[in-house]
Amino acid sequence: MSALTVKSLDLHHGLLHAVREVSFEVASGEVLALVGANGAGKTTLLRAIAGAHRPTAGRIELDGQDITQVPAHRRVAMGIALVPEGRRLFTQMTVEENLLVGRLAGRKGPWTVRKVLETFPNLEARLKARTGTLSGGEQQATAIGRALMSNPSLLLLDEVSLGLSPIAIERLYDSLKGLMQSGTTVLLVEQDLSRALGVAQRVVCMLEGRVVLEGPTASLPREAVTEAYFGVGRERAMA
Amino acid sequence: MINTIIQGVLLGGYYALIAAGLSFMFSVMRIINLAHGSLAVLAAYALLVLAQNYGISPFLGLLVVLPLMAVIGFLLQRFVLDRALRAGELVPILATFGLSIVIDNALFTGFGANTRSLSNYIGTLSYDSIELPGGIYVGELSVGIFALAIIVLVGLQLFLSFTPYGRAIRATSEDPDTAGLVGINARMATAVASAIALATVGLAGAALGMRGTFDAYSGAAQLLFAFEAAVIGGAGSVWGTLLGGIVLALAQTLGAKVSPLGFLIAGHGVFLVVLFVRIWLAGGVRPFLRGRT
C-alpha cells in the first residue's frame, strides 16, 4: 500500500494558483524526489502535506486514511514530519531543547537525543548552544534531528542542502543515507538535480504547479528530467 | 531609614507578585492584559465570598479560587484573546480593556462601594510581626508575600525551562506555525499559558486582600503598579521583575517619607525615568518598540 497518496490537489496563495490538480503516490519505504524550478509549487505542496497549508480542493491520504482536514500538530502524531525550508528552528532555545520539542507529539519509536547525536556527530559539542549561534550545517542537522525526534513514518525534507557548503552537504547526505535505507518513507525537495536523482528511487518533476514528469530514476534519462525541469519541451511545442 | 528600606523591599515583593502574571503573559503570548488588575480584585472578592458566606479561610479558599482563575484564563484565551489576536496586535489590548470595565462594574453592582479586606479572616497573621536585629519589625504577612513572589517567579522560570509543556509554550511563542509542524497544539499551549498566568493573578488577589483593603475599582491601581514594575525590571525576566517591583516600592516608600503625596509621585517618577532611559539607550522610540515586539 502507498504510504502517501495525493489526489488532484489544488493549493492557492491568495490569488496565486500555486499547485494545480497534482496527484502522485509514495510507496512505503520509498525515497521520492520532488524536483522543479523555483516557484513550481514544491514547498507549498510539502507544507500542505504537513498540514500547514489548507488545500482548496483535493485529498491527502496517509496509509489510506484521509487526513485532508487534520491539523498539522495531529499529523505529526500520525507520523508525518516536515523539515521546513529555511530550517525554522526555535532560535531562542538550545539545540537540545529544539530536539526535545520534536518529541512532544508523543509517537513511540527509536529516536532519542542520543541517537540524533550519533547520526549528526557535529551537534554533540553544540548541544547547549542556542540555535541562533550555529553554523548553517549545524542548524540543518538540528532541524532534521528535531523532525526525527517525532519518529516519523513519512519524512518531508524541503531543500535541506540550501545555503550549505559542499562539504556540509556531503556530510549531511552521508548521514541521511543510513536513514533512507532504514525503511522511513522520504519525500525530498531538492534543487540539486544530480543529488536528488542520486538518492531517490523515483522522481516527480513539477513545473508551474503541475506534475510534468514522473518515473523511476533508474529508467529516466537525465535529459528528460532536465527538459521537464525547465519546461524546454513545452516551450518548443508552444513556439 | 533602614526600616523604610526594608518595608519598601517587602512591598516590592507584592508588586513583583502581581507583575509576575502580567510579564509572563506579555513575554510568552505577546499580550498586554489590561484586565490584569481587575482579575486580581475578582479573585480577592471570590476569596471574600468564600470566607464570609461559608467560613472558609482564604488560604483554603485558594484551593477553589486558583483553579477557577485558571479556568477563566483558559477560556479567556480560547474565546477572547485568540480571536482578538487574529484581528491585529492592538485588538487584544482593547478587548482586555473592555473586559476590565465589565469586571469592575459587575463587582460594583454585586458588592457595592464598600471597602473590603480579607485581613479579618486570617487570624493574627495580619498584624503578627518578626523582630529583626536593631529593633526593626517586619510583618509576617509581608515576608510571606515576598517569599511567595520569589517562589512564583522562579517556579514560572523553571517550568518554562525544564518541563516539556514549558518548552512547548516557548516554542509556540517564538513561532506558532512551526510549533504546529513539530506536533505542538499551539492553541492549547497558549490557553494553558494563559491559565497559568491567571492562577498567579489569583495569588496576587489573595495577597492584595490580605495585606490591605480593596473595592470594586481597585483593579486599575494594581494594573498600574504591576505594569510599572514590569517595565522598570524589563518584562520577561524573573529577577528583572522582582527588581522592578522592589525599585518601584522603594521609590514609593522613600517618597512617602519626604511628603505624604510623595508615595505615588516618586513611584511614577522612577517609572518614567527608567522608561525614558530605556528608550534613549535603544536609540529612539521606534527601535525601542521594535525591540519589544
What are the pLDDT digits (tens) for A132-172? 899 988 999 999 999 999 999 999 999 988 888 888 888 88
Q: What is the mean pLDDT of residues A46-62?
A: 95
Place of cell 512617602: B256
Q: Do B180 and A150 count as a contact with CB atoms less than 8 A apart?
A: no
Query: What is the C-alpha separation between B202 and B18, in angstroms, rounded?
Result: 9
User: Which residue intervals of B135-185 are DSSP H helices?
Assistant: 140-162, 164-174, 176-181
Chain B positions touching A97 (Cβ under 8 A) are: 167, 170
Chain B positions touching A146 (Cβ under 8 A) are: 182
Q: Do A73 and B167 count as a contact with CB atoms less than 8 A apart?
A: no
What are the pLDDT digits (tens) for B123-157? 888 888 888 888 888 899 999 999 999 999 999 99
Question: Average pLDDT, whole number, for chain B?
Answer: 92
What are the pLDDT digits (tens) for B92-102? 999 999 999 99
- Chain A interface disruption, residue of B160, B161, B170, B178, most A CBs within 10 A: B178
Q: A229 with A205: CB under 8 angstroms?
A: yes
The alpha-carbon gap from B185 to the nearest alpha carbon of chain A, in Å, equals 6
Could you tell me the pLDDT band of residue A182, with boundaries at 50, 70 and 90?
Answer: confident
* DSSP conformational letter for B119: G
Query: What is the C-alpha separation between B293 and B270, in angstroms, rounded?
Result: 23
- Chain A interface disruption, residue of B167, B175, B181, B184, most A CBs within 10 A: B181
What are the pLDDT digits (tens) for B207-259? 999 999 999 999 999 999 999 999 998 866 778 899 999 999 999 999 999 98
DSSP string, chain A: -EEEEEEEEEEEETTEEEEEEEEEEEETT-EEEEE--TTSSHHHHHHHHHTSS--SEEEEEETTEE-TTS-HHHHHHHTEEEE-TT----TTSBHHHHHHHTTTT---SS--HHHHHHH-GGGGGGTTSBGGGS-HHHHHHHHHHHHHTT--SEEEEESTTTT--HHHHHHHHHHHHHHHHTT-EEEEE-S-HHHHHHH-SEEEEEETTEEEEEEETTTS-HHHHHHHHHTHHHHHHH-
Q: Count of alpha carbons within 13 Å of A223, Cβ hemisphere only?
A: 1
Q: Do A146 and B177 count as a contact with CB atoms less than 8 A apart?
A: no
What are the pLDDT digits (tens) for B4-25? 899 999 999 999 999 999 999 9
> A231 pLDDT exceeds 90?
no
Length of chain A: 239
pLDDT at A235: 52
> A239 pLDDT exceeds 60?
no
Residues 6 or more apart from B280 whose CB is under 8 A from it?
none
pLDDT at A233: 60
A200 touches chain B (CB under 8 A): no
Which stretches of chain B sit within 8 Å of chain A by CB? Answer: 164, 167-168, 170-171, 174-175, 177-186
Q: Do A73 and B175 count as a contact with CB atoms less than 8 A apart?
A: no
What are the pLDDT digits (tens) for A77-136? 999 999 999 899 999 999 999 999 999 988 888 899 999 999 898 899 999 999 989 998
The alpha-carbon gap from B126 to the nearest alpha carbon of chain A, in Å, equals 43
A52 touches chain B (CB under 8 A): yes
CATH number of the domain bearing residue B136: 1.10.3470
> B2 pLDDT exceeds 50?
yes
Q: What is the mean pLDDT of residues B108-119?
A: 93
What are the pLDDT digits (tens) for A27-51? 999 999 999 888 889 999 999 999 9
Could you tell me the pLDDT band of residue B293, with boundaries at 50, 70 and 90?
Answer: very low
A132 touches chain B (CB under 8 A): no
pLDDT at A181: 81
pLDDT at B27: 87
Taking alpha carbons only, the member of B246, B211, B250, B244 closest to residue B1 is: B250
**Closest residue to B167, CB basis, from A51, A97, A106:** A97
All domains in chain A, ordered by first residue: 2-238 (3.40.50.300)
**Closest residue to A104, CB basis, from B168, B175, B177:** B168
pLDDT at B45: 97
pLDDT at A165: 85
Residues 6 or more apart from A157 whose CB is under 8 A from it?
A83, A144, A176, A186, A187, A188, A189, A190
- For the question of an ipTM over 0.90, the answer is no
Q: Do A90 and B174 count as a contact with CB atoms less than 8 A apart?
A: yes
Q: Do A93 and B181 count as a contact with CB atoms less than 8 A apart?
A: no
What are the pLDDT digits (tens) for A90-99? 999 999 999 9
Chain A positions touching B168 (Cβ under 8 A) are: 101, 104
Query: What is the C-alpha separation between A60 and A46, in angstroms, rounded?
Result: 11
A54 touches chain B (CB under 8 A): no
Residues 6 or more apart from A168 whose CB is under 8 A from it?
A135, A136, A137, A140
pTM: 0.88
Domains held by chain B: number = 1
Q: B141 with B211: CB under 8 angstroms?
A: yes
Domain that holds residue B87: 2-292
pLDDT at A1: 67
The Cα angle at residue A52 between residues A49 and A54, in degrees rounded to 5: 80
| B246: its cell numbers | 522592589
pLDDT at B235: 67
